[in-house]
Amino acid sequence: MSVESSAPSATGPDVIAGLVKGLPNGPGVYRMLNGAGDVLYVGKARNLKKRVQSYARSGGQSNRIARMIAETASMEFVSTTTETEALLLEANLIKRLRPRFNVLMRDDKSFPYILIARDHRAPQILKHRGARSRKGDYFGPFASAGAVNRTLNALQRAFLLRSCSDSVFESRTRPCLLHQIKRCSAPCTGEIDPASYDGLVREAEAFLSGKSRAVREALARQMEAAAEQLDFETAATYRDRLAALSHIQSHQGINPRGIEEADVFACHQEAGQTCIQVFFFRTGQNWGNRAYFPRADRDLDAAEVLGSFIAQFYDNKPPPRLVLLSHAPAERALLAEALSVHAGRKVELATPHRGTKRQLVDHAMANAREALGRRLAESASQARLLEGLAGAFDLDAPPRRIEIYDNSHITGANAVGAMVVAGPEGFDKGQYRKFNIRSEDLAPGDDYAMMREVLTRRFTRLMKESGARGEANGESAPWPDLVIIDGGQGQLGAALGVLADLGIEDLPVVAVAKGPDRDAGREAFHMAGRAPFRLPLRDPVLYFIQRLRDEAHRFAIGSHRARRRKAMAANPLDEIAGIGPTRKRALLHHFGSAKAVSQAGLADLEATPGINARTARQIYDYFHERQD
């Protein structure tokens, strides 16, 4: 990789022109950076020299490209062997660096899968997210956790596979409740023999692999055979399993014939915004859909946005054999080749014009239009609320970023501070932050000190990342336009004191105090330079502020509970050097609990199997020192 840069004061086409001479006439990836070193744009090229040279020419550029060139102070380059390799690297860098002038995929949560785990003698069926490191068969993706949970519940009724963990499986001495309600065949206690259980596993795999008709026909034959033999209880079991399979397929929506495995992408643009609707079809079944709202410049058309989006979408997940598109990207063949390399098999990208495939794309497009319409309506409503908020708090303009802070603790224990963020598009959960309170000399329940610590840590870091307020508005360290804290005049004073110590001025801070008897609707608002005031009882802005405060409270409570659970699960034996899992098990088995170990005498410790005299002395000294 070669990196070249100019003096930070120089930007624009002349800077770019000075970098052209040393570039190769081959494929690669380039990054355009501003004077502060922030990446403005990541692109790939079949010929790096020609592509960069095109940026050095004045005129003929779109407004977006012209702005990007004008801000460019330096560039970085990576040569690749092929253009396909460059495309894959470009998608990876865009997702990692999130440049301002690229199309950005905003929501990149992993998709859930159904896993039939094969690392145990009785395979387990469960929901799975993340890397496919566990041995077994994966089926998916599903569009949401709700979709996979509903399917899993029906699969348990249809195939009676266990969902318990291996440790629970090994410890069972009698069947659990799931067996009693006919959702598990109880292989843990031998209610079903291993060969019959393996048969259930094979049926589940066949169904999830698209052979649902064959599975249903086999179950129907078995039901009829049991009925003919007057074994009505067994026949009823097969009947219930068939009903569970029907439930799965009846909730799949459209199930196109002739399409076993495909993803369908439809892109709709309106009012300067873009929605991409994605449908997942696997094993001939519809496994759900999800709407995405990528960040893209208004100058980019649907085909350009869709092409860049798909490259990022499949950066961390395997593509199916067929991808159906509403618009054909300019580099569709290259994109198909890159996805094929990524998947290790052929991937086809198609833009159908008729037939069943076109109907699928039209259906996805209708969903994209409806989703974007709802988002635009919500954005308009959100904009009115932000305007109302600006009027209520005498702000110069509607805030684009609101930070809301709250604390949670139980008499000072496991104290956690929380920050949630809201703006024109609602809550931005990717920007939420939690702060484990670190001050050891903090008095139990001192909310003022907790608020001071949280705000000090937050704004000290913000100033390091972006300098003085207003100097940098990059996405990596955005400044709030409004700060809301839960509390009254005391919390407001603590917050303003922190900001004053850091030299931060003119940042509006509002403290929201609960009404008498914690009555919602009677909240009092405290601001510097204003007497406490209330908003009209049925004012929509009041409801909006309550939602902001309640979300901060929910996030703070959740973070506190997670920290408390972790602290409760902590074992003091883990802190003793030389006590590994084997010795810890021996101690807990001998004494029954960590507390009993801490109270044991030296002779009792030495009598524990697997604990020698030296280790017993070490354990005794550890707890003895802690009590002194």
**Average pLDDT over every residue of 166-185:** 87
Confidence class for position 448, pLDDT limits 50, 70, 90: confident
Q: Confidence class of residue 626 from pLDDT cuts 50, 70 and 90?
A: very low
C-alpha distance from residue 328 to each of 163, 308, 353 (Å): 43, 12, 11
> What sign does the CA torsion over 328, 334, 339, 345 have?
positive
**CB crowding 232-269: b at 16 or more within 10 Å, else e:** eeebebbbebbebbeebbeeeeeebeebbebbbbbbbb
Q: Could you give the angle at which helices 302-313 and 83-97 cross, rounded to 10 degrees?
A: 90
**Banded model confidence at residue 5, pLDDT cuts 50, 70, 90:** very low
pLDDT in the model for residue 386 = 93
Pairwise CA distance, residues 500 & 483, whole Å: 14
Q: What is the pLDDT of residue 395?
A: 92
Q: Give CA–CA dist 424/381, Å, rounded.
A: 9
Residue 474, pLDDT score: 44
The answer for residues whose C-beta is within 8 angstroms of residue 547's C-beta and 6 or more apart is none
Crossing angle between the packed helical segments 83-97 and 332-343, to the nearest 10 degrees = 80
Q: What pLDDT was estimated at residue 1? A: 41
Give the range with max mean pLDDT: 15-29, 278-292, 564-578: 15-29
- Per domain, the residue ranges of the chain are 2-97, 113-250, 261-373, 402-551, 572-627
pTM (2 d.p.): 0.69
Q: Look at strands 273-282 and 261-270 and give their pairing.
A: antiparallel
Q: Measuring CA to CA, which residue among 212, 201, 202, 206 is closest to residue 249?
A: 212
- Between 255 and 207, the more confident residue is 207
CATH architecture type of domain 2-97: 3-Layer(aba) Sandwich (3.40)
- The separation between CA 314 and the C-alpha centre of its own chain, rounded to angstroms, equals 15
Q: By the 8 A CB rule, do 197 and 187 touch?
A: yes
Residues 308-319: tens digit of each pLDDT: 999 999 988 889
More confident residue, 409 or 121: 121
How far apart CA 100 and CA 102 sit, in angstroms, is: 6
pLDDT tier, 293 (very low <50, low <70, confident <90, very high otherwise)? very high
| Separation in Å, CA 376 to CA 80, 269, 272, 278, 367 | 41, 11, 10, 19, 14
Give per-residue pLDDT as tens, 458-493.
Answer: 999 888 877 655 444 444 468 999 999 988 899 999
Q: At CB < 8 A and 24+ separation, what contacts does 235-244 make?
A: 237/182, 240/157, 240/182, 241/157, 241/158, 241/159, 241/160, 242/158, 242/216, 243/157, 244/154, 244/155, 244/157, 244/158
CA distance 621 to 545: 54
Find the range with the poorest average confidence among 453-467, 499-513, 577-591: 577-591
β-strands 413-423, 426-427 pairing = antiparallel
What is the average pLDDT across 289-303?
A: 90
Three-class secondary structure of residue 102 per DSSP: coil
Question: For residue 518, what are its two tokens?
Answer: 């914690």
| Euclidean distance between CA atoms 487 and 509, whole angstroms | 12
pLDDT level of residue 610 (50, 70, 90 thresholds)? confident
Residue 424 neighbours by CB distance under 10 Å: 15
Distances (CA, A) of 99 to 33, 236, 348, 425: 9, 60, 29, 20
Do the beta carbons of residue 148 and residue 114 sit within 8 Å? yes
Above 80 in pLDDT, residue 174?
yes
Cα separations in angstroms, 340 against 81, 196, 271, 348: 17, 39, 35, 8
Lowest mean pLDDT among 161-175, 499-513, 568-582: 568-582
Check if 261-373 and 402-551 are the same fold.
Answer: yes
Asked if residues 27 and 45 have their Cβ atoms less than 8 Å apart, the reply is yes
C-alpha span between 510 and 430 (Å, rounded): 23
State yes or no: pLDDT of 442 exceeds 70: no
Question: Which residue is it, tokens 């055979």?
Answer: 225
Least confident of 72-76, 84-88, 240-244: 240-244
Q: Which tokens hold the place of 46?
A: 């079949």
Query: Residue 565 has what pLDDT?
Result: 67
Task: Return the ∠ at Cα 96 (arms to 95 and 99), rounded to 5°.
Answer: 75
Q: What is the pLDDT of residue 409?
A: 66
Q: Could you give the percent of the chain with pLDDT greater than 70?
A: 88
Answer yes or no: CATH 1.10.150.20 is held by domain 572-627.
yes
Evaluate if residue 27 carries a pLDDT over 90: yes
Q: Which two tokens stand for residue 406?
A: 């709250």
Query: Of 3.30.420.340, 1.10.1060.10, 3.30.300.180, 1.20.1260.10, which CATH number belongs to 402-551?
Result: 3.30.420.340
* Torsion region of 160: left, alpha or beta (phi above 0 gives left; psi -120 to 50 gives alpha): left
Mean of the per-residue pLDDT values of the chain: 84
Q: Give CA–CA dist 351/267, Å, rounded.
A: 12
Cis peptide bond prior to 187, omega within 30° of 0: no
**What's the DSSP call for residue 611?**
-
Can you say how many angstroms the Cα of residue 601 is from the centroid of all Cα atoms in its chain? Answer: 49
pLDDT for the residue numbered 31 = 94
Nearest to 13 by CA among 58, 47, 45: 58
Q: What confidence score (pLDDT) does residue 412 get?
A: 52
Average pLDDT rounded to a whole number, residues 175-198: 90
Average pLDDT over residues 107-132: 85
On whether the 261-373 domain is CATH 3.30.420.10, my answer is yes
pLDDT digits (tens, 9 = 90+) for 366-376: 999 999 988 88
Beta bridge partners of 279: 264, 289
Mean pLDDT calculated for residue range 410-420: 75
Q: Provide the H-helix boundaries in 62-108.
A: 63-71, 83-97
**DSSP reduced 3-state for 161:** coil
Beta bridge mates, 496: none
Q: Tens digits of per-residue pLDDT, 381-410? A: 888 999 999 999 999 999 999 999 988 866
Q: Tell me what pLDDT residue 445 has.
A: 64
| pLDDT for the residue 471 | 46
Taking the C-alpha atoms of residue 78 and residue 76, their distance in angstroms, rounded to an integer, is: 7
Mean pLDDT of 584-593: 80
Which pLDDT belongs to residue 440? 64
The Cα–Cα gap between 254 and 281 comes to 10
Using the predicted structure, report yes or no on whether residue 6 has a pLDDT greater than 60. no
User: Counting beta carbons within 10 angstroms of the beta carbon of residue 323, is it exposed (0 to 12), middle (13 to 18) or buried (19 or more)?
Assistant: buried
Structure tokens at 603: 């002779």
